[in-house]
Structure 1
């Protein structure tokens, strides 16, 4: 029984041995599990990056060095070039004729081999269809296994290059429009500093370059009256635009021109400025004044001619009756004197009407070929008596002046009227110069003198050292009966007769 009551006991050493063997097995399992998880993560990572590479819109390629054969290409490359992957793998770019500029690409490869990488290099490539497009390349030298390779990423920038080219053409066209414009264009600050100016404005103001013009202060150096610009600013600075503003400007050579300004204010920049279009209307205003003067003279001429013609007929009747009366009054001395006075007054009135007819160009003339120098020498003695001893007469006659066709009486009348007018302008003496010569009138002169024509002409010039006349007087000198002389000392028909003989 005792035997039956005995129990079996395990020693403590046996009990402890099993847990140690279980922990070692678990550790191996954990290492294996971690390795498997790492490999799975790596596989997933590779798959993720592979998907990213193939989904990229950029062309990504892997090529061998040094022969540069394609090992891998993504879908982006296929879309960009039009090739399928199987058409490309194992071949070189040269075999596929991908590069539009092969020589430049050789330099690119040499840079990668030397420096290890390249960034943002632009180039042209050819698609399978033969279209030339633009790309931007980034590449790096890598080692795959034991093989030296080039990993490259290319972005198609054709749309950007086309937009840049279109912008360049647009800017060039606009620049050409501004540079070739016949009128001046400038950008100017409110303070009067010129920011930019086109060649037409440089020429208009007589300067040598835009840089020289931009150094000017518009208010001080260009405006004839600096205060006028201040008045214009006060009037227009709050307006977005201004139109048809006429201003007198001063050129570099000191001459004044009339400019017509149109412009607009440009804000949102520092500093704010005006874009101004300036047109030189000096010649236009001169021609307008000449046209108005010509129209006025034409109207006066028609009136004077009609009156003079009718009045001359009346004078003829008066003169004819005085001759009849003279026969009956031969024995009456007092009556004879009265008839003589009537005849003298009638002849003077007739002479005035002849001058009016000359002004209106209704006078009967008999033109013939004349030597202007000979005509001037013939009248020289008479002119000396007319001008007196205090005025020196100087003849400057061109030795080979051309002949003219003119009525000799008209020529003498023109010379006499001009000389008398010059004499009256020199009450204290002076010099009177008579010149002849051949001249050729060209377009610039003709453009500023209404009625003139281009070509060869004979010049008769009379100048003096007298007091001259102001602009207002000058605008009236050819009008009949206009005179600045005292009452009773001038008819006002001298220069109008000269005008009529043009």
Structure 2
């Protein structure tokens, strides 16, 4: 029904079966009379225009067409000609649909029209036209070189101005010719290869290719190409990007990088870079130069350098310092250089120096990376350590030799250098010496007047070149006012362009003690001569005494002498006995007396000497003897032990000129391993200790170290031979004993 009325029946032009077919057609089917009134439509037509069938059948075909299409369409249809046209139909909602209409009269009163919606196709065609227009404009306006050529024969059919600028041709030189004819490719096979890859891949992007421009100059380009369809034929759209400047820069950069790599390898400098995320975490992996890898004992590029791997290569004792440096750099934007140790994969420990710069973001508020260098300083550290060791050895050697070092300019107003030891030899601190420019004159004033000529002669011979070194022994005044002997040795430290000496380097040494020892040696040699003479006389004298004593004994036995003669004979015997004691003393002095060891009771021996010792030390000194009842017996020469006690008593007496106490005591002792650790020659086991103590002036450590040396004495010249304590030491040692001394200045011995 239409508007409450029953819809008119379908015309009987077509059978129901035919209309069923029309319903299945995917196009709109319109049946109308010659006036254009619609007699029937299919469902697709209703859906396409948005009308119900009943409404659509109230309209004419011309109501649906645009006014411009009506006269032409009607005129053509009236003469019975088929009509094919593209027109616009207006839907119920007013929108225009692009349609393709195929209409035909089927009898005198009716015509049929098939209408296809081509709106999407028209939109696509419009878009294509717009795209083609845009492409044409872009093609011509692009500064990049572009060309279009037929794929079949390579003939160029279009180029843009960028192409002409790059290749240097005019348009008429290019259009209709091929790239090979123009000689754009150095080798024809190169274009063949490009086309082959294009066919395989469908498109090429950034294909590096050397091309030759009109001038014959080669240019480096990136070619991107794609097959496009034009007029039903395949064409090749090619884009050429000139990268010659970039390639030149890359070559320069490669040369710089190569040179830098060589420089890094020669200097053992490696470079590195660590980037940070927004939360300041290191980006993995780090960027390391080849030399950086080599410094850490790794093959360049063999592994990716991560934070974990880097930390594992740091010496465990230095990892905390490294982490502190990085944290400090992130917080303060400053990286403080430092040195640390690394452990190579083979276990070798080396030392490196790290320094870096902090790179901030554009706002300057956040570090984005650390860029730094690492330098292998192992050899330098080893050299420094060796130098320090050499300096230490030299210093110890100089200290052991007690040498004072000086450096002197030849000119009198030149600067000088004197070591602390140099000043100490003369009893001064460095601060007490005059200014450097005044020291030379001051030093000359310290030289003994009698030695100035000797010093001047040696110095003159050296400066004028007749001697390469100089060495003198002179006396100089000590701060205490005493004159000390100095050994002065110097050599050339610097010459000017004329070969003249400008600076001297030298050392001095205090040889006062050596000079004193020389004097003592000469005196000892004289005493040795006297000793040999005394020994010879003692032997001869002993022979005479033997005869005298023998005849005195015969006379006493065989002659009946009266009182006066017997008294005279007794005096002869006593004198001979005293002379024999004198002979023994002479032999002891000359060390030619044989020991006669016997088992002794030291209590008895010391008791027998008490009166003699009392007379020997004088009235101002009190003798105290502390005897032990159960003292062990000892095996020794009694005469020699008496000599030991007498010598010690004499030394004690001389140490107490104003009086004091002399104490002799004995005790049984056990010599254990602790004692032997101080004296390897001492016997192990039970022994008897005999101590002689005085309350005299005492001795310092340096004197104690020399008191048993032959010819050493603290007494004035002529008051001692220096053999007393040496004899004591020899007797004790020869008797299988041991001797020690303990003393402090002012505390006795």
Q: What's the TM-score bracket when you normalise by the shorter of the two chains?
A: 0.5 to 0.7
Superposed displacement of residue 132, structure 1: 2.3
Q: Which residue of 1 aligns with 2:377?
A: 157
Superposed displacement of residue 294, structure 1: 0.4
Q: Which residue of 2 aligns with 1:276?
A: 507
How far apart are the structure 2 equivalents of 1:140 and 1:82?
24
Q: TM-score, normalised by structure 2?
A: 0.38
Between Structure 1 and Structure 2, how many residues are aligned? 355
Q: Which residue of 2 aligns with 1:130?
A: 347
Deviations 1:6-51 (A, max 9, x none): xxxxxxxxxxxxxxx9xx9868955999974444444444444454
Q: Name the Cα RMSD after superposition.
A: 5.4
From 49, 58, 64, the equivalent of 2:275 is: 64
Superposed, 1:109-188 pairs within 5 Å as 109-114=326-331, 116=333, 118=335, 121-142=338-359, 148-181=368-401, 183-187=402-406
SS in 2 for 1:83: coil
Superposed, 1:436-447 pairs within 5 Å as 438=662, 439=694, 442-445=704-707, 447=712
Q: Which residue of 2 aligns with 1:219?
A: 444
| Structure 1 residues 149 and 301, CA gap change in structure 2 (3 angstroms) | same
How far apart are the structure 1 equivalents of 2:517 and 2:415?
28
Contact 2:488-2:506 within 8 A present in 1 as well: no
From 295, 298, 307, the equivalent of 1:92 is: 307
How far apart are the structure 2 equivalents of 1:36 and 1:362?
115
SS in 1 for 2:323: helix
Q: Which residue of 2 aligns with 1:230?
A: 456
Q: Which residue of 2 aligns with 1:388?
A: none
Deviations 1:143-196 (A, max 9, x none): 799992222222222222222222222222222221233x43432536699733
Please list every run of 5 or more consecutive structure 2 residues that lacks an aligned counterpart in the other structure.
1-139, 144-159, 169-240, 550-571, 589-605, 627-640, 644-649, 651-655, 663-693, 714-720, 730-749
Q: Which residue of 1 aligns with 2:725?
A: 453
Deviations 1:457-493 (A, max 9, x none): 9xxxxxxxxxxxxxxxxxxxxxxxxxxxxxxxxxxxx
Q: Which residue of 2 aligns with 1:297?
A: 530
Residues 85-94 or 163-172, more deviating? 85-94
Q: Is it true that 1:77 corresponds to 2:292 in the alignment? A: yes
How far apart are the structure 2 equivalents of 1:214 and 1:452?
47
Larger RCO (alpha carbons 8 Å, 6+ apart): 1
Q: Is it true that 1:195 corresponds to 2:195 in the alignment? A: no
Superposed displacement of residue 451, structure 1: 0.9
How far apart are the structure 1 equivalents of 2:470 and 2:300?
65
Deviations 1:355-391 (A, max 9, x none): xx7898389xxx96353686489xxxxxxxxxxxxxx
Contact 1:136-1:157 within 8 A present in 2 as well: yes
Superposed, 1:383-398 pairs within 5 Å as 397-398=620-621
Contact 1:184-1:198 within 8 A present in 2 as well: no
| Structure 1 residues 234 and 29, CA gap change in structure 2 (3 angstroms) | same
SS in 2 for 1:122: strand
Q: Which residue of 1 aligns with 2:480?
A: 253
Superposed displacement of residue 83, structure 1: 3.1
Contact 1:305-1:362 within 8 A present in 2 as well: yes
| Structure 1 residues 180 and 284, CA gap change in structure 2 (3 angstroms) | same
Superposed displacement of residue 397, structure 1: 1.1
Contact 1:140-1:152 within 8 A present in 2 as well: yes
Superposed displacement of residue 90, structure 1: 6.4
Deviations 1:52-73 (A, max 9, x none): 5555423222222133333432
SS in 1 for 2:725: coil
Please list every run of 5 or more consecutive structure 1 residues that lacks an aligned counterpart in the other structure.
1-20, 317-346, 378-394, 407-413, 415-432, 458-502
Superposed displacement of residue 95, structure 1: 5.9
Q: Which residue of 1 aligns with 2:674?
A: none
Q: TM-score, normalised by structure 1?
A: 0.53
SS in 1 for 2:313: coil
SS in 2 for 1:128: coil
| Structure 1 residues 162 and 443, CA gap change in structure 2 (3 angstroms) | closer
| Structure 1 residues 170 and 82, CA gap change in structure 2 (3 angstroms) | same
Q: Which residue of 1 aligns with 2:622?
A: 399
How far apart are the structure 1 equivalents of 2:642 and 2:415?
58
